Amino acid sequence: MNTEVWLPLLTLGLGWAGSLATEGLRDRRLADRETRAREAESTTKQAERRDDFQRETLLGLQEAIVALGQATASIHREDRRRHREEGVPWSQLEAGEKATQSWWDASFAVGKLKVRVLDHDLRGLMNRFHDASTVVLLAGSEAEASVASEGMTQTGADAQQRLGELLRALY
């Protein structure tokens, strides 16, 4: 075969193969770039959803802390009044049905929300707050209940402070 025939055919074939290889590399780079962009967008959306969920949880937890604090304080005040004015022994005090139900509702709300919190320090504060609330109601004496109530008040204030810091960081 003459070089005038095979050389142009070889050049054409090599040019075509080179063009395919270049286009394949370009397509692979473009696909990789699109994959990275989708992954970055997915990661961003996931972080936004997590932040939204955490923000809603923290806002709900703020309200639940107040509700549990109020329910516990209400029962504690009534226990002290009945103990002092009516002479009911501390170990025999029982809260009314409405007050007890309010406490249980608030306690369940705090319990449900505190496990959703990502911040380890806040979860620890919430556990202490929740435990102190229970101790106030189950205390064997007025003094024990009062000490637990004071601890609960301080822990609640600390928890609200930490909640505020976390919420500000999410906005």
Give pLDDT, residue 66. Answer: 97
pLDDT digits (tens, 9 = 90+) for 59-73: 999 999 999 999 999
Angle, alpha carbons 127-119-106 (nearest 5°) = 40
Tell me the pLDDT of the chain averaged across its residues. 92
How many domains is the chain partitioned into structurally? 1
pLDDT digits (tens, 9 = 90+) for 122-158: 999 999 999 999 999 999 999 999 999 999 999 999 9
Residue 30 lies in a domain: no
Residue 10 lies in a domain: no
CB 54 within 8 A of CB 118: yes
Residue 61 lies in a domain: yes
Residue 63 lies in a domain: yes
Examine the pLDDT at 164 and tell me if it is beyond 70: yes
Q: Which domain holds residue 122?
A: 49-170
